[in-house]
Amino acid sequence: MLLLTLALFAVLFSAGDTRDALRWLTSFHVIQISSFFNSTWVQNRGSGWLGDMQIHGWDSDSGSIILLKPWSKGNFSNDEILEMEELFRVYFLGFVREIQERSSDFQMEYPFEIQGIAGCELQSGGAFQSFLMAGLGGLDFLSFKNYSCWPAPEGGTRAQKICALISQYKGICDTVENLLIKTCPRYLMGVLDAGKADLQKQVKPEAWLSQGPNPRPGHLQLVCHVSGFHPKPVWVMWMRGEQEQPETQRGDVLPNADDTWYLQVTLDVAAEEAAGLSCRVKHSSLGGQDIVLHWGHSISIGWIILAVILPSLIILLFFVLWFYRRWSYEDIL
């Protein structure tokens, strides 16, 4: 197992570009969101994530895993997937029943929401770090570390009581530990390998410029849009010549529907300083050929002025000439 890990690690982390491309993918986690609306009505949502790419859903009606990618199974056999499904079904049923039965003991008032995240991460030394955290109503509630349950300060005495309760269920704790420490790393390595071609695919970004809402009088907001790229790491900066503009504001990298990414990078400038600025995009798919878009606002104003004034001038010139000639003829006659 250790050898396999190190070998895969060496492959994943050898070439510089590949390393950057895959670093954000070296964790797998599942997310649970359980909304308890009233004493009988509860909604469970589950999902599985490779880094920040969702690769599994959970159909809570049929109690089955939804494989969102052709390679979402990783190196698990169909039987292993069925086993996991059974495990999650039993878990959700038991979890909901336990919470509903004990809601008054723990003074839980409907409606409330419980969130959980659990998984493992491959670290740069080749070791795995596993994690499990739960939140209540968006606040930290408890976590698992070093084989035991730790109540979060925000969880108060309620979290302490629940941790004490969980610790009594030795069998469940062992199963969870096994999943986090053994199953998760094995699955992560398998799925990184199975999805390699897809995860490493290089898709070039498109970029365009627009003007945002004016931030304050006399200022412009220049917006550089970069879309459709894969993998996720990207460098986008507003520049004046070769000089990076430190006031550049970078948005979040957002997912497009087709598994590519979108980023918006803005710069507020005094209107007269917009000329000469450009947006530069570096991405692994571009092979060193950065995209550079020049802010054309001042040029386009120039063109508008030219397009309006030049014809007016020509017409004016004709009138002047015409009047001049008439005037000259009248003078002669």
Ligand X SMILES: *[C@@H]1O[C@H](CO)[C@@H](O)[C@H](O)[C@H]1NC(C)=O
Minimal CB distance residue for ligand X:
38
The minimum distance between CB 110 and ligand X, in angstroms, equals 8
Contact indicator for 177, 167 with CB cutoff of 8 Å:
no
Cis peptide before 70 (omega within 30 of 0): no
Residue choice 1, 3, 14, 40 for contact with ligand X (CB under 6 A): 40
Regarding 101 and contact with ligand X (CB under 6 A), the answer is: no
Regarding 38 and contact with ligand X (CB under 6 A), the answer is: yes
The minimum distance between CB 105 and ligand X, in angstroms, equals 18
Residue 125 and residue 133: Cα distance in Å, rounded? 24
**Interface characters, 258-297, with ligand X (x: CB under 6 A):** ----------------------------------------
Residue 291 and residue 207: Cα distance in Å, rounded? 8
Regarding 319 and contact with ligand X (CB under 6 A), the answer is: no
Residue choice 15, 39, 124, 306 for contact with ligand X (CB under 6 A): 39
Contact indicator for 133, 143 with CB cutoff of 8 Å:
yes
Which H, E and C letters describe 118-155, residue by residue? EEEEECCCCCEEEEEEEEECCEEEEEEECCEEEECHHH
User: Which CB, 110 or 322, lies closer to ligand X?
Assistant: 110
Beta-bridge partners for 49 = 29, 54
Number of residues that bind ligand X (CB under 6 A): 5
DSSP β-ladder status, 27-36 and 42-50? antiparallel
Choose one: 31-39, 45-53, 67-75, 194-202; the region binding ligand X (CB under 6 A).
31-39
Contact indicator for 15, 21 with CB cutoff of 8 Å:
no
User: Which CB, 38 or 77, lies closer to ligand X?
Assistant: 38
Regarding 146 and contact with ligand X (CB under 6 A), the answer is: no
Residues 6+ apart with CB under 8 A from 248: 237, 238, 265, 266, 267
**Dihedral over Cα of 190, 193, 198, 204: its sign:** positive
Choose one: 36-44, 155-163, 203-211, 315-323; the region binding ligand X (CB under 6 A).
36-44
Regarding 107 and contact with ligand X (CB under 6 A), the answer is: no
Residue choice 4, 15, 37, 276 for contact with ligand X (CB under 6 A): 37
Residues found near ligand X in the complex (CB under 6 A): 37-41
